[in-house]
Amino acid sequence: MSEKNRTELYNRAKSFQYAFEGWGYVLRTQHNAWIHAVISLGVISLGLWLRLPARDWAVLILAITAVWIAEFMNTALEALVDMSASEFHPLAKVAKDVAAAAVLVGAMGAVLVGLLILGPPLWQQLFGA
């Protein structure tokens, strides 16, 4: 392996490290991230128990991913606003509120997707009707 290839491989590995550090930061500092984590694991567990087909898994994974992406972007935007605005500014509040709304919209959409995907087979499993 050439030195250039080793350097490229090292840089790719470092980028994954930085991404996981960011995920860890979100989990350590954002209370709602723990709620997302618990619900994500619960949905995945329920889907496994219900033996969902691949297409349902694809939709659930997209919904879960959308919520996590919104949470990550919200946290990043909050950090940027906090870094750039040492005093209260109404536009800083708007930026933070809109980013939080993105997480809320993603979470509400994910709940609806979860109900549509998991509801019927769960009902069937529990009540046999």
Residues classed as catalytic = 71
Question: Which residue reads 């990043």 in tokens?
Answer: 76
The secondary element (H helix, E strand) that includes residue 93 is helix 90-127
Sign of CA dihedral 39, 42, 44, 50: negative
Please report the DSSP string for 6-50 in residue order.
HHHHHHHHHHHHHHHHHHHHHHHH-HHHHHHHHHHHHHHHHHHHH
